[in-house]
Amino acid sequence: MSLDDPLPDRPAPDNPQGNLVLIRHGETEWSKSGRHTGLTDIPLTARGEDLARGAGRLVARYDFSLVLTSPLERARRTAELAGLDAQIDPLMVEWDYGGYEGRTTRDIRAELGYNWSAFTHGVIRGATPGETVEEVAARASRVLNRVLPAMVEGDVALVAHGHFLRILTAVFLRMAPRFGAQITLDAGSVSVLSYYREQPAIVSWNYGLVLPLEPSES
């Protein structure tokens, strides 16, 4: 257990009534081209800033008891442009892709000669150590330990990254972390999780200013 991130004194509450609103950061040059963007700290594009403002309009009617953001610039800027007063949570950084940082799935598959995906085959060491999907899920679980009590008081917003939020959703739904491979998120999108008849549920998913025509590549 990390001394900087202690577990709560009481277990998570049963069936909190608030909503958990997930906001993926706006577009960056790397997300636009499908490059894996883990810990590399790059800014939003102009369109990404517009998407962030649009996300703010989508969540304007929520009464948030807690707003958390990844410390990376693309998430912090998205929270700012969305009009959210967010606290930084270091656990909410994106998946550490290790040696696959900055590379596209297409290029990695061409190199390996098979249909690689981070969820199925994992990543390799690089300039950073990389993480397994289970390690990302462990971080997400600790975030949820903080979030669920706040959902008793009202709605909660998390501003973070595509893969991290997909894995967090799997953990919230009590599914295996790799379930995140089956739910995609577009840049600047808003999703809502909550409880329905005592069960964790998806209320709205990947909602944005326009409906996607194809799954996101990043």
Q: Is the dihedral of CA 23, 207, 95, 141 positive or negative?
A: positive
pLDDT tens track for 205-217: 999 877 777 777 7
> For 3-12, 16-25, 95-104, 165-174, which range has the lowest pLDDT when averaged over its residues?
3-12
User: Can you tell me the distance from the alpha carbon of 86 to that of 15, in angstroms, rounded to the nearest whole number?
Assistant: 24
User: Can you tell me the distance from the alpha carbon of 12 to that of 151, in angstroms, rounded to the nearest whole number?
Assistant: 10
Question: Contact at 8 Å (CB) between 39 and 212?
Answer: no
User: Can you tell me the distance from the alpha carbon of 154 to that of 73, in angstroms, rounded to the nearest whole number?
Assistant: 27
Q: Is the dihedral of CA 72, 13, 175, 19 positive or negative?
A: negative
Predicted pLDDT of residue 145: 95
pLDDT tens track for 14-23: 899 999 999 9
Q: Which residue, 163, 102, 92, 160, is CA-closest to 127?
A: 102
Q: Which residue, 87, 88, 89, 166, is CA-closest to 133?
A: 166
CB atoms within 10 A of CB 71: 13
Question: Contact at 8 Å (CB) between 167 and 140?
Answer: yes
Question: Contact at 8 Å (CB) between 66 and 150?
Answer: yes
Predicted pLDDT of residue 4: 66
pLDDT tens track for 180-208: 999 999 999 999 999 999 999 999 999 98
Q: Which two tokens stand for residue 195?
A: 């409880």
Q: Which two tokens stand for residue 2?
A: 């990390």
- The verdict on whether 161 is a catalytic residue reads no
Please report, rounded to a whole number, the percentage of residues in the chain having pLDDT higher than 70: 97
Residue from 25, 36, 161, 163 carrying the catalytic annotation: 25
- The verdict on whether 121 is a catalytic residue reads no
How large is the average pLDDT for residues 44-52? 97
**Would you call 63 helix, strand, or coil by DSSP?**
coil
Q: Is the dihedral of CA 63, 69, 75, 76 positive or negative?
A: positive
Residue from 27, 49, 94, 101 carrying the catalytic annotation: 94
Task: Grade residue 218 by pLDDT with cuts at 50, 70 and 90.
Answer: low
